């Protein structure tokens, strides 16, 4: 029972305590947005990487006007991640902040590149919303499309088949074989397919993009094989990887049952 409940357990949330560099980047981002709201465009432009291209006063003014004259009611850090370029030694921070301003919420999406002591913005976008991200991405079961519901049916089917295989293994085996089978059955061994519950976007979690395009591995490891999580903007997504051990065990079990039943049926026909 505990193992079955594991399928419905929310994944443990990763530690959100950022290191000192990420904290510095969040502070830099907040101060830059404050300069933008105050229409200090020269100071803002000095913090932008040249790769972003020229940022005209007109463009920065449109971004500034989104904030208005009043101070934001709140500023929430939605997510913050870090990556390192092993070839150049540069660090990149991807940060999403949400500002609650009069009548709307503003999501600021930025990437800050750090090389030695130099920090520059290589990405800075502002998206206005009529609701907060938590409200926009709250889980609602009804009102979704066929993609979400078909995926949900497959997701639940995989969980049910795995639980069924575990129950059979528990009854048929004893000792270490029983527990080895039960513990290995929730292991997904194929690439993991995920669907965004709100947008119906489907993607493969293990897919890697490079200059040759998107590469999807033949085998992957996911334990447990079916679960749900949240994107960086708090949208719920379901994901599933095929539990080949559990499915293989069920096929073996059913074939064994057919072999055992065949002599009985044959004997009954002969007696008749």
Please give the domain boundaries of the chain with CATH numbers for all domains: 20-136 (3.10.450), 140-259 (no CATH)
For residue 145, what pLDDT band results from cuts at 50, 70 and 90?
very high
- Name, in order, each residue with C-beta under 8 angstroms of 73's C-beta and a sequence gap of 6 or more: 100, 101, 102
Please check the confidence at residue 192 and state whether its pLDDT lies above 60.
Answer: yes
Query: pLDDT tens, 54-86?
Result: 889 999 999 999 998 889 999 999 999 888 776
Query: pLDDT tens, 27-48?
Result: 999 999 999 999 999 999 999 9
pTM attached to this predicted model: 0.71
Higher confidence at residue 68 or residue 4?
A: 68
DSSP state, residue 14: P
For residue 272, what pLDDT band results from cuts at 50, 70 and 90?
low
Q: What is the pLDDT of residue 3?
A: 36
Please check the confidence at residue 87 and state whether its pLDDT lies above 80.
Answer: no
Token readout for 91 is 């660090």
CA dihedral sign of residues 157, 160, 166, 171: negative
């Amino acid at each position: 029972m505990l193992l079955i409940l594991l399928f419905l357990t929310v994944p443990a949330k990763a530690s959100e305590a950022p290191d000192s560099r990420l904290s510095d980047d969040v502070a830099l981002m907040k101060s830059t947005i404050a300069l933008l709201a105050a229409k200090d465009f020269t100071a803002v432009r000095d913090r932008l990487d040249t790769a972003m291209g020229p940022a005209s006063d007109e463009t920065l003014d449109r971004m500034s006007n989104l904030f208005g004259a009043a101070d934001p009611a709140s500023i929430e850090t939605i997510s913050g991640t870090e990556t390192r370029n092993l070839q150049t030694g540069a660090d990149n921070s991807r940060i999403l902040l949400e500002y609650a301003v009069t009548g709307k919420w503003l999501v600021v999406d930025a990437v800050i590149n750090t090389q030695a002591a130099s920090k520059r913005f290589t990405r800075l976008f502002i998206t206005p919303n009529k609701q907060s991200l938590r409200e926009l991405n709250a889980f609602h079961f009804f009102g979704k499309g066929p993609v979400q519901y078909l995926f949900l049916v497959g997701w639940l089917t995989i969980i049910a088949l795995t639980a069924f295989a575990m129950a059979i293994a528990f009854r048929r085996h004893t000792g270490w074989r029983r527990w080895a089978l039960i513990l290995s059955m929730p292991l997904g061994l194929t690439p993991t397919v995920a669907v965004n519950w709100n947008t119906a976007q489907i993607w493969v979690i293990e897919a890697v993009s490079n200059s040759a395009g998107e590469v999807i591995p033949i085998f992957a490891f996911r334990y447990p094989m079916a679960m749900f999580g949240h994107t960086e903007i708090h949208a719920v997504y379901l994901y599933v990887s095929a539990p080949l051990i559990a499915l293989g065990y069920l096929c073996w079990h059913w074939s064994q049952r057919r072999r055992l039943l065949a002599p009985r049926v044959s004997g009954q026909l002969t007696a008749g």
